[in-house]
Structure 1
Amino acid sequence: MFKSRIAAAALIAATLAGCEKNSPPAAQVRPVRTVTVERGVEGETISLTGQIRAKDQASLAFRVDGRMIERPVHVGDTLTAGQVVGRLDPQIQQNALHSAEANLASLEAVTTQARLTFLRQQELLKDGWTTHAGFDDAQQKLLTAQAQVDSAQAQVRIAREQQNYTVLFSDAAGAVTAVGAEPGEVVRAGQMVVQLARVGGRDAVFDVPEQLIRNGPHDPLVEIELSNDPRVKATGRVREVAPQADSATRTYQVKVGVADPPEAMRLGSTVVGRIKLLATPGVEVPATALTEKDGRPAVWVVDPNSKTVSLRNIEILRYDSATVVISHGLETGELVVTAGVQTLRPGQTVRLLGAA
């Protein structure tokens, strides 16, 4: 009797052990970190430092070579239209003019003699006292002499213009921002003598990186303020973008036309320009959230009620240094796993270590 009870107990214990061996293990809860998907309301604000310059700026230069004997204006002077800004030694041009005038006078005398000869031949031909050959010769000499006079008159006009070019005038009202030569120097035609900022609008000029040129808004409103006094503010629009980047800095020069510039924004002032980029299309998540499903990018999404995860394919718009921008696949407010993605499986229960 005692032996049968022992055998029955052993049978029950063996049965229970077999049941425990065949039952599935309890599901393991994985701790994960998550982030809440948020869609950006507005874009980032970019700040750049630039300088105030005249909207219309000209380099005044002589049209002829020569030694400059006078430059009565200096940096900072305010000029009026027609004001003298420089003079060259006119001796060479005066000599050229005198030579051209003397040559003209000589040719005019020859022409007068040729005309008288032609008139005599014309009268003699009527009465038959000369030949047609003599008449034709006199006519040809008159035409040649007249052509030479026309050429000499043109040379006189050129010489007078060259003499006028020895005086340099301001073509408009404005302020002198730079000078390129001093009295006594020999200057070449086209060499900048005075740089003139004409009266009119002002530009805020910035050196802009290529990425901002490519990805920035098309016609942004630029907020401008003095770097040393942020209370002095203005706004402007992009007026001109350089077609080629600077070879050294690889940036593009951008001119922003300042609307109603304050008096304190003088030429040469350092300013700060700010533009607001467009809102990022799509949603942004940390790059650590990325995994793969069927050869396509995917993320683990947490069900907030059951605390289980599911793997969802997404479409990526852009990769940044630490984040990715997702164009499709996620909605605002969803929880995405950012740490522990390699140890998950569909339907697994997770424990949130922290949600941002």
Structure 2
Amino acid sequence: MKPWLTLMCAGVLLVGCGKQEQPPEPVRPVLSVVVQPQLQARLGRFAGVIEARYESTLGFRVGGRIARRWLDVGAQVKAGDTLATLDPTDQQNQLRAAEGDLARVQAQWINAQSDARRQQQLYDRGVGAQAQLDIAQTNLKTAGATLEQARSSVSQARDQLGYTTLRSDHAAVITAWQAEAGQTVTAGQAVVKLARPDVKEAVIDLPIGIAEQLAPDLTFTVASQLNPAVNTTATLRELEPKADATTRTRRARLTLASTPETFHLGTAVSVTLSSQVSPRSELPASALLERDGKTQVWVVEPQQKTVALRDVTLIDRNEDRIVVSSGVQPGERVVIAGVNSLKPGQQVTFDEDAQ
């Protein structure tokens, strides 16, 4: 074989055995978000209601049949306003009987007073006996004591008659009636519930797990459910020590920093719990890539528009989000879709305004 033919064949073989150049990775469009620092941790959002801080339940101080309810639920009352009345027949009879006893005892006391004066005059002239004078003075003292007792009975009977009228002892709003007209009630039985509208607070039911971990620096944000723009902050005033056996929640009462005008009694509110935390960032759960026991995310290099894997430390996660404490910095852009199909150094395109 000629030498030049041999060289040609060898060249053909070398070209045939050489590796072909790999085509560049295609530029992939991705969805991404910019990392935002999180200095407060949200512990949840709960439904609540605006209630009066001070509430009282009133009842009659005597028993009887309710003759009339003068006001309905929602009515505003002032101190001394009549709320309900009992049938006063029994108390009126008791008062008349006490007044009759008082008149009789007063007559006896007048007689005893006249007799004691007469016996004293006779004794002073030397014609009366000491024993008769002593008896007259003793009868006068007894009649005086009986008179005081009768007067007390009349006063008590008048009080009993006055107790047949149930009055408000402070300005309030009627929130509930627990007895109806015609119903017979006993002394002290709950009849009407009043709430003072001047001091209001938010009331929510918290799960046991959250209630037991409330930090002293916890911040509550209370917003109207109908208009979230109307809101205020609040602090924890009271946490019931015992959980509800049915709902497994504990009731919390919050003192409002300010009370918006639209926060009427019974207003439905949304209460958000947040607490100061160490710097961290929250990302969609779709951004997380888990390989070989590592938790990673794709970070976009803004100048070259390429992606690189970054190890991150998870401190919380659920189906929708992850919370990382390290691995990414505020302002960096992280890929949140298609993370399993990217390669290190691959060029990507993204919308600058996508969040």
Residue number in structure 2 paired with 1:95: 93
Pairing 1:312-331 to 2, within 5 Å after superposition: none
Name whichever of 138-147 and 222-231 sits farther off: 222-231
Secondary structure class of the residue paired with 2:145: helix
Give the match for residue 146 of structure 1.
144
Q: 3-state DSSP class of the match of 1:47? A: strand
CA–CA distance in structure 2, aligned partners of residues 219 and 91 of structure 1: 60
What does residue 60 of structure 1 align with?
58
Question: Residue 43 of structure 1 contacts residue 280 of structure 1 at CA under 8 Å; is this kept in 2?
Answer: no
> What's 1:70 paired with?
68
CA contact (8 A) 1:84 1:168 kept: yes
- Give the counterpart of 1:194 among 192, 195, 198: 192
How far the C-alpha of 1:332 sits from its partner, in A, is 6.5
Q: Which residue of 2 aligns with 1:116?
A: 114
Aligned residue number for residue 178 of structure 2: 180
* Cα gap change, 1:225 to 1:41, in 2 (>3 Å): closer
Measured after TM superposition, the shift of residue 98 of structure 1 is: 0.5
Show the counterpart of 2:254.
256
Q: What amino acid is the match of 1:215?
A: Q
Shift of 1:172: 2.3
Equivalent-residue separation in structure 1 for 2:161 and 2:127 (angstroms) = 51
TM-score by length of 1: 0.64
Structure-2 residue corresponding to 1:168:
166
**Residue aligning to 1:156:** 154
Whole-angstrom distance in 2 between the partners of 1:261 and 1:58: 21
Q: Distance in 1 between matches of 2:65 and 2:50?
A: 34
- Would you say 1:277 and 2:281 are equivalent positions? no
SS in 2 for 1:231: coil
- 1:321/1:42 CA distance change after superposition, 3 Å: closer
2:81 aligned residue: 83
Work out the CA distance in 2 between the residues paired with 1:208 and 1:227.
18
Q: CA RMSD in A?
A: 3.1
- Which 5+ residue runs of structure 2 have no aligned equivalent? 1-36, 280-293, 295-314, 319-324, 328-343, 345-355
Unpaired stretches in structure 1, ≥5 consecutive residues: 1-38, 282-299, 301-318, 323-330, 334-353
TM-score after normalising by structure 2: 0.64
Q: Which amino acid aligns with 2:140?
A: L
Other-structure match for 1:136? 134
**Conserved? CA contact 1:178–1:196, under 8 Å:** yes
- Structure 1 CA distance for aligned equivalents of residues 203 and 40 of structure 2: 26
Contact 1:201 1:257 in 2 (8 A): no
Cα distance in structure 1, aligned partners of 2:91 and 2:82: 19
Q: Distance in 2 between matches of 1:147 and 1:193?
A: 39
Matched, 1:235 2:233: yes
| Alpha-carbon contact 1:217-1:278 (below 8 Å) kept | no
Distance 1:280 1:178, change over 3 A: same
Counting matched residue pairs gives: 256
Aligned mates of 1:280, 1:185 — CA distance in 2: 61
1:174 shift after superposition: 2.6
Q: What's 1:223 paired with?
A: 221
Tell me the residue number matched to 1:212.
210
Q: Which amino acid aligns with 1:90?
A: P
